[in-house]
Amino acid sequence: MGELASAREVARVVEEAHRGCWSTVLASTVRLTRDLDLAEDCTQDAFVQALRTWPDGIPSNPGGWLTTVARRLALDRLRRETTLRRKLPLLIEDPVSPGDREHPTDPLRLVFTCCHPALARDSQVALTLRLICGLTTREVAAGLLISEATAAARITRAKKKIAAAGIPYRIPADEELAERLDVVLTVVQLVYTAGHVAAGSELTRADLTGRALGLARLLVRLMPSEPEPEALLGLLLMTEARGDARVSDDGEIVMLADQDRRRWNARLLAEGVSRATTALQQGHGRFALQAAVAGLHVTAPSWEETDWHQVVRMYDAMLLSWPSPIVALNRAAAHSLVPGADLDAVLEELDALGNEPALKSYAYLPAARADVLARLGRAAEAVEAYDDAIALTANAAEQRFLSRRRGALL
């Protein structure tokens, strides 16, 4: 342990540890117990203990300390319940020694456990976001565009199903991987999205985007011959490469059209484009097509020179295999930027999407309508649409951005 620390310093380090270590601590504890509820309770208790004991000295390895405490708490609980001798020989598939506190694949094992085909797909996604990200139920609901009560119900049902069905905690055998791959990739993308536009005062959460990138790299190593993990990693890398240019020096959002492309990370861009290209040469799955859209943006010399016709074609192809309202919204937004586009027709597309239940609480729909209405010269209606978008936006930086756009119309 280190020197005495103030309550404020302890709170800061514990918060950082929660963001950076939650999933690895939880995953390591699950590997020991094979009980999601018990592991989650003990992981939370370990963070509470940190708040109580770290004022006496913050450990040099907070994550290791938390993992050790969480696992010890779990073992104590199992002993008290007189189930340790009965349960552990049946549940532990690989030997766990006292020094083996965590394994590099632990988070990925937990993802595949949560994405077992015995669970409903919506429950798979909700549970993984809760456990891997440590997101609150409210944040999970926001990411999935559902109510908080619905998110809580999905998470509870999934945990009960895992316990009742005795779903093993492991990375599936090769022949089982394919049936889980799409939902696993979806979850990893949602983890990244949750960090790319975070709820609250910060625009981004680097712990979540970093966690998603780490999981994507693990998936590529696990399934090197599959194009879709390669495509997702390429997509995330190209998005991450634009991060520094996405925020101005005073902390305000800079739209892609106005970004200084010299500030983009050339190394991440080159890797992302290369991976996306490799994936597209092998197949045209939905992640490969999303990566193709990102590639069209980052390889264009400027916003004005973006090949919007080709972007729309990519979304058309995506809609054939993935008829999602969000894809339709992105297609309509891209269509509005095609030179000479009929904006009235685009507005009709957006208005029709307003009937989609999945987009009722999605701020980008009214924001897209506001942009098209403003370009049509219908300023009063655009202001109303911006009001709707602001009300649905949970991120403070995005709220300020939309308010500035709205103010420019008054």
Predicted local distance difference test score (pLDDT) of residue 164: 84
Angle at 408 between CA 403 and CA 410, to 5 degrees: 100
* Summary mean pLDDT of the chain: 87
Provide the pLDDT confidence category of residue 86 given band limits of 50, 70 and 90: low
E strands, 80-234, are none
DSSP 149-193: HHHHHHHHHHHHHHHHHT---SPPPHHHHHHHHHHHHHHHHHHHH
CA distance 410 to 406: 7
Alpha helices in 34-173 (DSSP H): 36-53, 62-80, 84-91, 106-114, 121-133, 137-144, 148-165
Phi-psi region of 134 (alpha: psi -120 to 50; beta: other; left: phi over 0): left
Task: Write out pLDDT tens, residues 221-260.
Answer: 888 889 999 999 999 999 999 999 998 888 889 999 999 9
Predicted local distance difference test score (pLDDT) of residue 103: 60
Predicted local distance difference test score (pLDDT) of residue 3: 61
H or E stretch covering 197: none
Residue 141 has pLDDT above 50, yes or no: yes
Residue 275 has pLDDT above 90, yes or no: yes
Provide the 8-state DSSP code for 245. G
Predicted local distance difference test score (pLDDT) of residue 401: 93
Taking the CA atoms of residue 314, residue 315, residue 320 and residue 321 in that order, the dihedral angle to the nearest 10 degrees is 80
Provide the pLDDT confidence category of residue 97 given band limits of 50, 70 and 90: very low
Taking the CA atoms of residue 186, residue 192, residue 194 and residue 195 in that order, the dihedral angle to the nearest 10 degrees is 170
Helix (H, G, I), strand (E, B) or coil at 6: coil
Q: What percent of the chain has pLDDT over 70?
A: 91
Contacts of 153 (CB under 8 A, 6+ apart): none
Provide the pLDDT confidence category of residue 123 given band limits of 50, 70 and 90: confident
Provide the pLDDT confidence category of residue 150 given band limits of 50, 70 and 90: very high
CA distances from 3 to 46, 69, 113 (A): 20, 20, 40
Please give the average per-residue pLDDT across 15-29, as a whole number.
85
Please give the average per-residue pLDDT across 131-159, as a whole number.
84
Query: Could you tell me which residue, 76 or 85, shows the higher pLDDT?
Result: 76
Which of 10-14, 221-225, 259-263 has maximum average pLDDT? 259-263
Helix (H, G, I), strand (E, B) or coil at 214: helix
Provide the pLDDT confidence category of residue 96 given band limits of 50, 70 and 90: very low
Please give the average per-residue pLDDT across 357-383, as a whole number.
95
Residue 113 has pLDDT above 90, yes or no: no
Residue 12 has pLDDT above 70, yes or no: yes
Predicted local distance difference test score (pLDDT) of residue 87: 52
Predicted local distance difference test score (pLDDT) of residue 206: 84
Predicted local distance difference test score (pLDDT) of residue 353: 96
Provide the pLDDT confidence category of residue 98 given band limits of 50, 70 and 90: very low
CA distances from 35 to 9, 28, 38, 72, 389 (A): 33, 11, 5, 14, 41
Which of 108-112, 135-139, 304-308 has maximum average pLDDT? 304-308
Residue 347 has pLDDT above 70, yes or no: yes
CA distance 75 to 128: 24
Structural domains of the chain sorted by starting position, each given as residue range(s) with its CATH number in brackets = 1-91 (1.10.1740)
Rg (CA), the chain: 23
Helix (H, G, I), strand (E, B) or coil at 1: coil
Predicted local distance difference test score (pLDDT) of residue 104: 58
Residue 90 has pLDDT above 60, yes or no: no
Please give the average per-residue pLDDT across 354-366, as a whole number.
92
CA distance 271 to 234: 7
Predicted local distance difference test score (pLDDT) of residue 201: 66
Angle at 57 between CA 55 and CA 60, to 5 degrees: 130
Predicted local distance difference test score (pLDDT) of residue 295: 96
Lowest mean pLDDT among 167-171, 192-196, 209-213, 400-404: 167-171
Q: How many CA atoms lie within 13 A of 123 on its CB side?
A: 17
